[in-house]
Amino acid sequence: MTSPHPIADQVGDLPVTPASLVLQARELHPDTNRSQLSRFGDPRWDLFPALPDRHSANQTIHWDAYPAAFRHASKLYVFALLNIVEHAPRLAYAYTPFPSVKTIWADLGYLRLLLAWLTDRGITRFADVTTGDLDHYLRHVTDDTTSSTARKRKALLAAQRLHAYRQFLPPPDRLPASTLWGGASAAELANHPDPRLAENRTPRIHPDVIHPLLSAALLVV
Protein backbone atom coordinates (compact mmCIF):
# COMPACT_ATOMS: atom_id res chain seq x y z
CA MET A 1 0.00 0.00 0.00
CA THR A 2 1.45 3.33 -1.02
CA SER A 3 1.30 6.47 1.11
CA PRO A 4 -0.98 9.22 -0.22
CA HIS A 5 0.69 12.32 -1.62
CA PRO A 6 0.43 15.31 0.72
CA ILE A 7 -2.25 17.78 -0.24
CA ALA A 8 -0.69 20.87 -1.78
CA ASP A 9 -1.56 24.40 -0.83
CA GLN A 10 -1.51 27.04 -3.53
CA VAL A 11 0.45 30.29 -3.27
CA GLY A 12 -0.16 32.28 -6.42
CA ASP A 13 0.57 29.77 -9.18
CA LEU A 14 2.93 27.73 -7.02
CA PRO A 15 1.84 24.45 -5.42
CA VAL A 16 3.24 24.11 -1.91
CA THR A 17 3.87 20.83 -0.10
CA PRO A 18 6.08 20.09 2.91
CA ALA A 19 8.87 19.17 0.47
CA SER A 20 8.73 22.45 -1.48
CA LEU A 21 11.94 24.45 -1.46
CA VAL A 22 11.54 27.71 0.41
CA LEU A 23 13.92 29.71 -1.80
CA GLN A 24 12.66 29.04 -5.32
CA ALA A 25 12.71 32.49 -6.90
CA ARG A 26 15.66 34.11 -5.14
CA GLU A 27 19.20 34.31 -6.44
CA LEU A 28 21.40 32.13 -4.26
CA HIS A 29 24.99 32.74 -3.25
CA PRO A 30 27.44 30.64 -5.31
CA ASP A 31 28.69 28.92 -2.13
CA THR A 32 25.23 27.55 -1.34
CA ASN A 33 24.89 23.82 -0.75
CA ARG A 34 21.61 23.25 -2.54
CA SER A 35 21.07 19.87 -0.91
CA GLN A 36 20.71 21.65 2.43
CA LEU A 37 18.19 24.31 1.40
CA SER A 38 15.20 24.69 3.70
CA ARG A 39 11.90 23.10 2.75
CA PHE A 40 8.41 24.28 3.59
CA GLY A 41 7.74 21.59 6.19
CA ASP A 42 10.92 22.31 8.14
CA PRO A 43 10.54 23.83 11.63
CA ARG A 44 13.28 26.33 10.74
CA TRP A 45 13.90 28.21 7.49
CA ASP A 46 17.43 29.36 6.74
CA LEU A 47 17.31 32.48 4.54
CA PHE A 48 21.07 33.02 4.58
CA PRO A 49 21.65 31.38 1.14
CA ALA A 50 19.65 34.21 -0.48
CA LEU A 51 21.74 36.96 1.11
CA PRO A 52 24.43 38.36 -1.20
CA ASP A 53 26.43 39.69 1.76
CA ARG A 54 28.28 36.83 3.48
CA HIS A 55 29.01 39.16 6.42
CA SER A 56 25.31 39.47 7.27
CA ALA A 57 24.02 37.84 10.41
CA ASN A 58 22.53 34.39 9.95
CA GLN A 59 18.81 34.81 9.33
CA THR A 60 16.83 31.75 10.34
CA ILE A 61 13.08 31.74 10.95
CA HIS A 62 12.14 29.59 13.94
CA TRP A 63 8.49 28.76 13.39
CA ASP A 64 7.90 27.53 16.93
CA ALA A 65 8.05 31.22 17.96
CA TYR A 66 4.80 31.85 16.07
CA PRO A 67 1.32 31.18 17.51
CA ALA A 68 0.34 27.62 16.60
CA ALA A 69 -3.00 28.66 15.11
CA PHE A 70 -1.29 31.02 12.65
CA ARG A 71 1.90 29.04 12.02
CA HIS A 72 0.91 27.37 8.75
CA ALA A 73 -0.73 30.52 7.38
CA SER A 74 2.37 32.53 8.28
CA LYS A 75 4.56 30.03 6.46
CA LEU A 76 2.42 30.37 3.34
CA TYR A 77 2.61 34.15 3.58
CA VAL A 78 6.41 34.23 3.97
CA PHE A 79 6.68 31.70 1.14
CA ALA A 80 4.72 34.20 -0.99
CA LEU A 81 7.02 37.05 0.06
CA LEU A 82 10.04 35.02 -0.98
CA ASN A 83 8.76 33.60 -4.25
CA ILE A 84 6.26 36.07 -5.74
CA VAL A 85 8.76 38.29 -7.52
CA GLU A 86 6.85 39.10 -10.70
CA HIS A 87 4.02 41.62 -10.31
CA ALA A 88 4.50 41.60 -6.56
CA PRO A 89 2.42 44.12 -4.57
CA ARG A 90 4.31 47.33 -3.82
CA LEU A 91 3.62 49.39 -0.74
CA ALA A 92 3.94 53.16 -0.60
CA TYR A 93 7.49 54.43 -1.14
CA ALA A 94 8.93 50.95 -1.77
CA TYR A 95 12.46 51.02 -3.16
CA THR A 96 12.37 47.72 -5.05
CA PRO A 97 9.85 45.71 -7.13
CA PHE A 98 9.65 43.06 -4.37
CA PRO A 99 10.88 42.97 -0.75
CA SER A 100 14.46 41.88 -0.11
CA VAL A 101 15.24 39.04 2.24
CA LYS A 102 16.48 41.55 4.81
CA THR A 103 13.21 43.49 4.54
CA ILE A 104 11.22 40.29 5.03
CA TRP A 105 13.34 39.37 8.02
CA ALA A 106 12.88 42.78 9.62
CA ASP A 107 9.13 42.57 9.03
CA LEU A 108 8.64 39.28 10.84
CA GLY A 109 9.04 40.62 14.37
CA TYR A 110 6.25 43.10 13.71
CA LEU A 111 4.11 40.42 12.08
CA ARG A 112 4.36 38.43 15.32
CA LEU A 113 3.01 41.45 17.21
CA LEU A 114 -0.11 41.33 15.05
CA LEU A 115 -0.43 37.56 15.46
CA ALA A 116 -0.13 37.83 19.25
CA TRP A 117 -2.76 40.58 19.31
CA LEU A 118 -5.17 38.50 17.22
CA THR A 119 -4.57 35.43 19.36
CA ASP A 120 -5.29 37.39 22.54
CA ARG A 121 -8.64 38.37 21.01
CA GLY A 122 -9.52 34.72 20.30
CA ILE A 123 -9.01 35.01 16.53
CA THR A 124 -7.26 32.02 14.97
CA ARG A 125 -7.64 32.57 11.21
CA PHE A 126 -6.89 35.56 9.00
CA ALA A 127 -10.21 34.93 7.24
CA ASP A 128 -12.01 35.61 10.55
CA VAL A 129 -10.44 39.06 10.93
CA THR A 130 -12.89 41.89 10.25
CA THR A 131 -12.27 45.46 9.15
CA GLY A 132 -13.36 46.44 12.65
CA ASP A 133 -10.64 44.24 14.13
CA LEU A 134 -8.04 45.91 11.92
CA ASP A 135 -9.30 49.35 12.94
CA HIS A 136 -8.92 48.31 16.57
CA TYR A 137 -5.39 47.13 15.83
CA LEU A 138 -4.60 50.47 14.24
CA ARG A 139 -5.71 52.26 17.41
CA HIS A 140 -3.85 49.71 19.54
CA VAL A 141 -0.63 50.58 17.72
CA THR A 142 -1.03 54.34 17.36
CA ASP A 143 -2.28 54.87 20.93
CA ASP A 144 0.76 53.16 22.43
CA THR A 145 2.62 55.97 24.18
CA THR A 146 5.65 53.77 24.85
CA SER A 147 6.47 53.21 21.17
CA SER A 148 8.22 55.61 18.81
CA THR A 149 6.57 56.69 15.59
CA ALA A 150 9.20 54.66 13.72
CA ARG A 151 8.19 51.48 15.56
CA LYS A 152 4.50 52.23 15.02
CA ARG A 153 5.13 52.70 11.32
CA LYS A 154 6.87 49.33 11.06
CA ALA A 155 4.10 47.58 12.97
CA LEU A 156 1.45 48.99 10.63
CA LEU A 157 3.61 48.31 7.58
CA ALA A 158 3.76 44.61 8.48
CA ALA A 159 -0.04 44.45 8.57
CA GLN A 160 -0.31 46.35 5.28
CA ARG A 161 2.11 43.97 3.57
CA LEU A 162 0.15 40.95 4.80
CA HIS A 163 -3.01 42.53 3.41
CA ALA A 164 -1.34 43.36 0.08
CA TYR A 165 -0.40 39.71 -0.47
CA ARG A 166 -3.86 38.34 0.29
CA GLN A 167 -4.57 37.61 -3.39
CA PHE A 168 -1.76 35.03 -3.48
CA LEU A 169 -2.89 33.12 -0.39
CA PRO A 170 -5.56 30.44 0.11
CA PRO A 171 -8.98 31.87 1.11
CA PRO A 172 -8.73 30.89 4.81
CA ASP A 173 -5.47 32.85 5.05
CA ARG A 174 -6.63 36.16 3.59
CA LEU A 175 -7.39 39.36 5.46
CA PRO A 176 -10.58 41.19 4.41
CA ALA A 177 -10.55 42.50 0.83
CA SER A 178 -11.60 46.07 1.62
CA THR A 179 -9.01 48.85 1.38
CA LEU A 180 -6.98 48.87 4.55
CA TRP A 181 -7.17 52.03 6.66
CA GLY A 182 -8.41 54.22 3.85
CA GLY A 183 -5.32 53.60 1.75
CA ALA A 184 -3.12 55.80 3.94
CA SER A 185 0.56 54.91 4.20
CA ALA A 186 1.97 53.49 7.42
CA ALA A 187 4.07 56.66 7.85
CA GLU A 188 0.97 58.84 7.63
CA LEU A 189 -0.97 56.67 10.07
CA ALA A 190 1.89 56.66 12.57
CA ASN A 191 2.56 60.39 12.09
CA HIS A 192 6.11 59.46 11.21
CA PRO A 193 8.04 61.59 8.71
CA ASP A 194 9.21 59.36 5.88
CA PRO A 195 12.91 60.11 5.18
CA ARG A 196 12.28 59.84 1.43
CA LEU A 197 9.82 62.71 1.67
CA ALA A 198 11.96 64.96 3.82
CA GLU A 199 13.90 67.79 2.24
CA ASN A 200 17.64 67.52 1.89
CA ARG A 201 19.13 69.28 4.92
CA THR A 202 22.78 68.87 3.93
CA PRO A 203 24.31 72.37 3.80
CA ARG A 204 25.18 73.49 0.29
CA ILE A 205 28.85 74.05 -0.53
CA HIS A 206 29.53 77.76 -0.90
CA PRO A 207 30.10 78.93 -4.51
CA ASP A 208 33.51 80.38 -3.52
CA VAL A 209 34.57 76.82 -2.66
CA ILE A 210 32.80 74.77 -5.32
CA HIS A 211 33.88 76.90 -8.31
CA PRO A 212 37.67 76.37 -7.79
CA LEU A 213 37.05 72.66 -7.12
CA LEU A 214 35.00 72.29 -10.30
CA SER A 215 37.61 74.17 -12.32
CA ALA A 216 40.38 71.94 -11.01
CA ALA A 217 38.36 68.81 -11.75
CA LEU A 218 37.70 69.94 -15.32
CA LEU A 219 41.39 70.73 -15.77
CA VAL A 220 42.37 67.23 -14.64
CA VAL A 221 39.77 65.65 -16.93
Quick one: pLDDT at residue 58? 77
Q: What is the pLDDT of residue 90?
A: 86
Q: Are 134 and 162 in contact (CB under 8 A)?
A: no
Average pLDDT of the residues of the chain: 88
**Side-chain half-sphere exposure of 214, counting CA atoms within 13 A:** 7
Is 208's pLDDT higher than 70?
no
**pLDDT at residue 194 above 80?**
no
**Confidence tier at 7 by pLDDT (50, 70, 90):** low
Contacts 24+ apart (CB under 8 A), 91-98: 91/157, 91/160, 91/161, 91/164, 91/185, 91/186, 92/185, 92/186, 92/187, 93/185, 93/187, 93/194, 93/196, 93/197
